[in-house]
Structure formats: structure tokens, C-alpha cells
Structure 1
Amino acid sequence: MLRLFRVLGKRGRITIPFEIRQRIGFRCNDVLSFTELDDSSVVVRREKICDNCQYLEEDFEENYTLEDFLDSLSEEEQRNALLHLSLLWAEKQKH
């Protein structure tokens, strides 16, 4: 098991070490979830945010924008993404 240390910044930010990103396969713009376990450890997972993301990987272009991605989602998926982002934004405004 690879174990590396990083310092959590004053704004709560941290960089996932390159070696770990490379071994796990994390890529730019991946959506990650954080789950706290009973022993106070945290599990980080890459999440699949839509059912038809597979075709996006095959047809991915370097200049593919967030707007392009959102346009490719169904109305329900867009609504869920908007709700999720709105809740995140509201939480950040409290701090």
C-alpha cells in the first residue's frame, strides 16, 4: 500500500499526489465522493454521474466544455446536477 503525506491548507484544500492519481486512474474533472467511516478515516471514490458517460469517454475531445457535458445530459440529470451544485454553493456561502 502506498502511503504519502500532504498538508491540508487553511481553505481545506489538498492536492492528491500524482503517484496516487496515476495508480488509481483519477483524471482532471473526475467527480469524487468522500465518505467518513466510523473510525474517522475517509474513503475517496471516483463517481459516475450519468448512465451514458461511457460514450463521452470514447468521443472525448480536448476542448469538450462543461456546457457541452451538461447539454448531453437528460433533463432529469441536468436538474439533479443543478440541485447538487446549488446545495454546494449554499453551503460555501455559510462559511
Structure 2
Amino acid sequence: MMKLYRFLGKRGRITIPYEIRQQIGFRYNDVLSFTKLDDNSVVVCKEKICDNCNEYLDEFEGDFEENITLEDFLDSLSEEEQRDALVHLSLLWAEKQKH
């Protein structure tokens, strides 16, 4: 098990260590969720916001992981798809608030 330490900044920000990001596969603009467990530990998970995200890759030039922001991606969706994404994420958030 790897254990690394980082300081929590004044504004509540922290950098996830490079080694952890590489091993888990976290990328720029990933949506992450944080779940507090009963023992006060926290589980961080990468969330999937849509089932057909690859359909939209052709709309963007260059390296997807480096150049596109989450806002760019959401702006590329139709109004109905944006609503569906908002509902989906809201339901995930509400579920996690119960625990």
C-alpha cells in the first residue's frame, strides 16, 4: 500500500500526488466524488457522467485529455443531454448525501 502526505491549503485545495493519479488513471477534468466512511476515511472515485461520451470526441480537435474542458464537453451536448447529465449527477449527489 502506498501512503503519501500532502498539506491541505487555505482554500481547501490539495494536489493528488502524481504517482496516485498515474496508477488510478485520474485525468484533467475528471469528475471525482468523495465519500466519507464511518471510520472517517474518505474514498475518492472517478465518476462516469455519460454512457456515450466517445460520440463527441470527433467534435474536438487535438488531444482530448489535454485540450477539452468539462465545460466544453457539456456545451457540446444538446439541451436534453445536458438536462439528463444534470439529473444523473444530482441523483448521484443526493444518494451520497444519505450515507
TM-score when scaled to structure 1?
A: 0.69
The total of aligned residue pairs comes to: 82
Question: Can you give the 5+ residue segments of structure 1 that lack an aligned partner in the other structure?
Answer: 85-95
Identical positions, percent: 74
2:2 matched residue in structure 1: 2
* SS of residue matched to 1:29: coil
Q: Post-superposition shift, 1:66?
A: 4.1
Q: Distance in 2 between matches of 1:6 and 1:33?
A: 19
Q: Match of 1:64?
A: 68
Distance 2:81 2:33 in 1: 18
**Which structure ranks higher in relative contact order (CA pairs < 8 Å, sequence separation ≥ 6)?**
2
Please say if residues 50 and 77 of structure 1, whose CA atoms lie closer than 8 Å, have aligned partners that are also in contact: no
SS in 2 for 1:11: coil
| 1:32-69 alpha-carbon deviations (Å, 9 max, x no partner) | 0000001110000000011212445x646334354541
Unpaired segments ≥5 residues, structure 2:
91-99
Aligned to 1:15: 15
CA drift of 1:27 comes to 0.6
Match of 1:24 in 2: 24
Q: Decide whether aligned partners of structure 1 residues 7 and 73 sit closer, same or farther in structure 2, where only a CA change above 3 A counts.
A: same
Relative to structure 1, the CA distance from residue 30 to residue 67 in structure 2 (aligned partners, 3 Å threshold; closer, same or farther) is: closer
